Every structure is written in structure tokens, then in C-alpha cells.
Structure 1
Amino acid sequence: MPEQKIQNDILGELVWNSKLQWWSNQVEIIPGNIVNLSVDIDDTEIPACHSFTRIQAQEINLRRFAANQLLERYNKHWNNGTEIDCLTFIELIKLVSVHINTDGSADLFYDDGELFGGHTIIISIDCNGACEDAQIAG
């Protein structure tokens, strides 16, 4: 059976992943930063497109949110004797994957820049684009 694909003006060519039950693609989220994108699409793809463009526009603010949530934890428990500031934290982490849910909410997965021993930083945003949580996983 051939791969199922759909073309989207904003999300590009999405390929159906039957094992994971979502559409996926690699896209440039900001200049020079290609990320893995996965999308749950129900009856409409509009929430996914809105979420993606909002994430593109707000990506620096999403990293700032992660820094505001996790910098103190890094400086108290993870640093090697040298504390860092918010700007350094923001510059070290890099978005690697985005999963957009049917309702437009999303989880963003960041490379931690070795701040937390290689653990992933996950930022959850709601369907309106508001940051809900930033946590360390893995």
C-alpha cells in the first residue's frame, strides 16, 4: 500500500504514520531550525495550522517561558558550580519536535543544550496558545 500523503499550504507535505496514528513532516519552524512535526487531525486541519503559525511567531517567547520555569532548578541543582542567566538558558535550548493535537493544543520538545544532562524539555501549550507547563523529561 502506498504512503498516504496530504499537502497543506502551511504545514507542507504530511505523511500518515499508521503506527502512531498521526501525520508527520519536517518543517522549518524558524530560520535554520528544522523540526519534526506531528499532527493529530480529526475533521479539520485549521487548529493545527493556527497552532503552527502561532508557535512560529512565538518561539522565542516559548523558550523564555521554559527559562522562567526551569532556570532556578538548573542553577540550584544541575549546574556545575556556575550559574547562568535567562538569556544563556534561552540560547542553549533548541526546539526539535512539535506535536499538535486535534484541538490545537501542542507539546513542544526541546534539546536541553546539556543543561539537564541530555533530558528533554517539554513545553505544553493550550488550544489558545497559552503556555501551561514546562518540564524536564527523559
Structure 2
Amino acid sequence: MLSLKKLVFIKINKYMSYPDIKHELLGYLRYDSEFDWYESQVIFYETQLPISLSIDDNDKVESALDRAICIVPELKHYAKSAKEYAVEQLLKLKNETWLDEGDKITSEEFKSRIILEGLVFLPEGKVEFYYNDGNLFLGHCIILKMDNNNYFVDASIHG
């Protein structure tokens, strides 16, 4: 039977096996053992945008890394599509249920208020876009999910 001390040591050793990655496009990726993913930042409209790349079941990051390499150069396009999808999926909910600020809002106002705050690249090719809600939903996070074929398939609010 393994002691708790030995289990902690095994877990620490596992996390030590993930080296930092330096990538020309994605920057310096550092492993975060708390979330079991790599983290970095990319430039998006002259600001630093956090990105995370999840580790797969085989303790590999390559599939998420490959996906990030494909998406990041086209991020402005995908972010625009994400906002349009958010409007399609969430504007009606906002205008029918979340009227704490008064009048209904337009699709253009909705898009102008939400701000991309981070991306998570998952091993199976999915990408999660995390948006600040611009107080449309009382400070809840908007998460937009894109499948491995570059189609947005889910929009939800969290928090």
C-alpha cells in the first residue's frame, strides 16, 4: 500500500516531466499542474490574450498545440464569427430575461460589449472562447465552443 507521502511525490514527479515550450507563434508555454495544461499569451488587437492548451489522456500536448497553431493566425476571423454566433444564441435570452439595465439591446451593441478574454485548446480539436460579458448577464462569463471543423456549436453563460 502506498503512503500519502509517496503518492504526493509521484504526483510531483509527474508534473515535473512537462518541459516548458518555446514556440515562435505561441510564445513561451509553461505547464500549470493545477489545471493540467500549458499556458501562454498571444497578441490580439495589441493586448495580451491568455491561451491554454490542455494535455490529452496520453499526457501529450501536441494535438492542442497543432490546433492553436492553426487558429491563432486567423484569430481575428474566428473572434468575429464567435461574436456573431453569440448574438444568434444569446441576444434573445438577454432581451427577454436579463433586462436589468433597461431597454433591449441591438446585435451591434451586444457584439461591442463582449470582450475576448481567453482561449482554451482541447486535445480533440475543440476550442473554447471565453468572453467578458460587458455586464450583459450581470458579470457572468460567456463561453463559446468551436468544434474541430471550425463551427461554433455551443454558447453559454457561466459564473
Distance 1:14 1:56 in 2: 21
Structure 1 SS opposite 2:89: helix
For residue 40 of structure 1, the aligned residue among 44, 54, 73 is 54
The corresponding residue for 1:131 is 152
CA shift, 1:4, in A, is 3.6
Determine which structure has greater relative contact order: mean sequence separation of CA pairs < 8 Å that are 6+ residues apart, divided by chain length. 1
Judge which range, 5-14 or 43-52, deviates more: 43-52
Note if contact 1:51-1:105 (Cα within 8 Å) is conserved in structure 2: no
Instruction: Report the AA paired with residue 115 of structure 1.
Output: L
* Deviation readout 1:102-128 (Å, 9 max, x if unpaired): 122111110000000000000000012
CA shift, 1:43, in A, is 5.8
For residue 77 of structure 1, the aligned residue among 58, 73, 97 is 97
Instruction: Report the AA paired with residue 21 of structure 1.
Output: D
Distance 1:59 1:100 in 2: 14
Structure with greater helix share of residues = 2
CA shift, 1:23, in A, is 0.5
**What is the percent sequence identity of the aligned residues?**
29
Name structure 1 gaps, 5 residues minimum: none
Residue 22 (1) aligns with residue 22 (2): no
Judge which range, 93-102 or 73-82, deviates more: 73-82
The corresponding residue for 1:62 is 82
Aligned length: 136
Write out the 4+ residue segments of structure 1 that deviate beyond 6 Å after TM superposition: none
Instruction: Report the AA paired with residue 42 of structure 2.
Output: V
Name structure 2 gaps, 5 residues minimum: 1-15
Answer with 1 or 2: which has the greater Rg: 2
Distance 2:153 2:145 in 1: 5
Note if contact 2:53-2:61 (Cα within 8 Å) is conserved in structure 1: no
Structure 1 SS opposite 2:68: helix
Judge which range, 110-119 or 45-54, deviates more: 45-54
| Superposition RMSD in Å | 1.8
Distance 1:65 1:74 in 2: 14
The corresponding residue for 2:73 is 53
For residue 114 of structure 1, the aligned residue among 123, 131, 135 is 135
Distance 2:93 2:149 in 1: 27
Residue 96 (1) aligns with residue 117 (2): yes
Structure 1 SS opposite 2:102: coil
